[in-house]
Amino acid sequence: MTGRGRPRRAKSPDTKSANSTRSPEEVSLQNGTTKERKPKAQKKARDTEESPLQDRTTKHVLEEISKQQSATTDNTKAPVRCTKAKKKTEQAAEEIRKTQPETPKDPLKARKVKRCVVKKAKSPEEAAEMTKTQPETPKETPKAGGEGELSILHRTLENLKIKREERSDAAELVNKIVKVIVEHLKRKSQSFKEIEEPLRTGSYYEHLKISNPDEFDVMLPVPVDRVNVTPFGDDGAFYSVELKRGKSPLQRFQTTGGTLSASEMLKEFRDEVKRSVEQCTEWEVTKKKKGCPAVTLMTKDQPIPISLDIVLSIVVKSSWPAFTNEGIQIDGWLGTKVKQQYKRLPYYLVPKYEGVGTVECDGVLAKDVWRVSFSHVEKAMLMNHGSEKTCCEREGERCCRKDCLKLLKHLLGLLKEKDSSLTKFCSYHVKTTLLHTCCSRTKDAEWRASSLSRCFLLLLEDFMKHLERGVLHNFFIPTQNLLSGPGLMKCRSLAQRIGEERDNGFPIFK
């Protein structure tokens, strides 16, 4: 249907008045009587009232109404009805005057008023759209201990920052001594001359160090080819290593059963490190700690004492142990491809055991076994921790994963200072908790920097759940419980102390 033969209705009073060149008398002849003309005048007045968004000024509307009034007055065939129409028209004009701003005499000012009216007048749909684009009014931060909880966390993080000068001075001192040790091992030792480039791991190199640059961890890997790696125990974290046929400078550390003795190898490594730092008067080697795989050096006469752990390790360039098959569940967080890239990397074994060193299993003593280490993969994940590649980069959005970890590390450290019974808990428990939490809350939007308080409390809740159950699975080896050492009673005691701090607004941070 084209609508041919039917009179077209104007879309608005403006359209009709703009296109029509007929006089009021011609309108009267076409419609027949003034009676037919009256409702049209009323309709125009009503349309004008109901359409305040039309692009026209009050002056134009009043001129049009004036013409209609004059046409009605000239028609003498129906004076009574014309008078009624005139009154209604005047009422409509009065209503328009009330709803429209006063038109200034200056035409330039009139145009300015017109633009202003069009800009301010918005339809309900446009107003709703504008409301959506407006930033939400931030909600009041919940109060804790008389202060905003978020402000307490931000102030604590600010206090934990390391000054750039201190960081630079400490790193220079550490790099210098590490270079001295590596050169000595390569040139003057027989067993460790094939040592590879240092592997810098730990909180400082993961950008997680807090308060002071006073602790460093450097792993010195010794390559081994063609070895048999056999699990020691049931948790999948400890292994015995047997060298296969072939010449190797490490053969002198083999036991009668063919096992590579971790204790003997660490003993000679320690002696070589001592020799290498004899001329470095600013450093001294500390006493050996039971079961510790590192040779620890401490600075002397420094404003901030620095502890440096030189960790002996052997690098195994083969498939990861079978106990890791169900570990490192980062598919939903960092992606399956990234996981496969990590699992193609070699893994490391460090000379560490738990319990009594003389305990024997399958002819192997506990002091001669090695603990598996994936510290290089942990560092890679924490340095590239976002589900989006640009997370925390200059052109990307910043998250609060590391800030939450720093706060929880600091909280644990303060609690340990107050209670010596908590010494078996360490920052590695906190780091492992964060890795598990990142796998359950995978998206960067769940870790926005603006959500620091909420994210920290969620991480705190996850840590407390592990403590209440006394179970925290190794992120790479799910069969190992990292909380088996402290025991359930101490775990629940720590959980209770953390809960008290949370409920009271973290007074320990003040």
How does DSSP assign 47-70, residue by residue? Answer: HHHH-TTSS--HHHHHHHHHHHHH
Mark whether 337 and 399 lie in a shared domain.
no
3-state secondary structure of 193: coil
Q: pLDDT at position 91, please?
A: 60
Could you tell me if 246 and 365 lie in one domain? yes
Regarding whether 305 and 173 lie in a shared domain, the answer is yes
Question: Residue 410 sits in a domain of what CATH number?
Answer: 1.10.1410.40
Exposure letters 362-377 (e unless 16+ CB within 10 A, then b): eebbbbbbbbbbbbbb
Same domain for 266 and 410, yes or no, is: no
Residues 222 and 340 placed together within one structural domain of the fold: yes
Task: Answer whether residue 279 is part of any domain.
Answer: yes
- pLDDT, residue 213, reads 86
pLDDT above 70 (res 56):
no
Q: Are residues 72 and 172 in the same domain?
A: no
Q: Which residue has the higher pLDDT, 224 or 92?
A: 224
- Strand duo 364-365 + 360-361: pairing: antiparallel
More confident site: 344 or 166: 344
Domain end (from 100, 123, 147): 100
Least Cα distance to 463 among 419, 420, 498, 503 occurs for: 498
**Does the structure show a pLDDT above 50 at 281?**
yes
Is there a single domain that holds both residue 400 and residue 479? yes
* Same domain as 424, residue 461: yes
Q: Give pLDDT, residue 90.
A: 57
At 72 the pLDDT is 42
Give the span between the Cα atoms of 446 and 345, in whole angstroms: 30
Res. 437 pLDDT band, cuts 50 70 90: very high
Do 500 and 468 share a domain, yes or no? yes
CA distances (Å), origin 119, targets 55, 57, 115: 11, 14, 6
Range of lowest pLDDT (221-225, 459-463, 490-494): 221-225
pLDDT, position 461: 97
Domain annotation covers residue 419: yes
Q: Is residue 439 part of a domain?
A: yes
Provide the whole-model pTM. Answer: 0.70
Under 8 Å between Cβ of 2 and 42:
no
Give yes or no for residue 69 having a pLDDT over 70: no
Collapsed DSSP state (helix, strand, coil) of residue 370: strand
What domain range is 406 assigned to?
Answer: 385-510
For residues 306 and 453, membership in a common domain is answered with: no
Q: Which of 324, 349, 374 is the last residue of a domain?
A: 374
Residue at 35 is within a domain? yes
Of 53, 74, 100, the one marking the end of a domain is 100
Residue 400 lies in a domain: yes
Is residue 148 included in any domain, yes or no?
A: no
pLDDT at 465: 97
Comparing 151 with 302, which gets the higher pLDDT? 151
Mean pLDDT of 25-53: 42
Indicate whether 71 and 205 sit together in one domain.
no
Q: Smallest Cα–Cα separation from 432: which of 468, 408, 457, 403?
A: 408
pLDDT category of residue 109 using cuts at 50, 70 and 90: very low
Task: Please report, for the domain that includes residue 200, its CATH number.
Answer: 3.30.460.90
Lowest mean pLDDT of 23-32, 180-189, 443-452, name the range.
23-32
Express each pLDDT in 133-149 by its tens digit: 444 444 433 343 434 66
Banded pLDDT at 342 (limits 50, 70, 90):
very high
Distance CA 442, CA 455 (A): 12
Which pLDDT score, from 0 to 100, does residue 148 have?
61
Q: Mean pLDDT over residues 391-418, rounded?
A: 93
**pLDDT tens-digit profile of 351-361?**
998 888 888 88
Of 14-18, 213-217, 305-309, 337-341, minimum mean pLDDT range: 14-18
Q: By mean pLDDT, which of 55-59, 225-229, 498-502 is the weakest?
A: 55-59
Q: Could you read off the pLDDT of 264-275 as tens digits, one per residue?
A: 999 999 999 999
Distance from C-alpha of 472 to C-alpha of 465, rounded to nearest angstrom: 9
Looking at the structure of the chain, the number of domains it has is: 3
Task: Based on the fold, state whether residues 270 and 331 are members of the same structural domain.
Answer: yes
**Residue 322 gets which letter from DSSP?**
G
Task: Tell me which of 170-184, 278-292, 339-353, 396-410 is least confident.
Answer: 278-292
Instruction: Calculate the CA 502 to chain-centre distance.
Output: 22
Average pLDDT, the chain: 78
Rounded distance between C-alpha atoms, residue 47 and residue 493, angstroms: 76
| Residue 68 covered by a domain | yes
Quick check: is 66 in a domain?
yes
Residue 204 has pLDDT above 90, yes or no: no
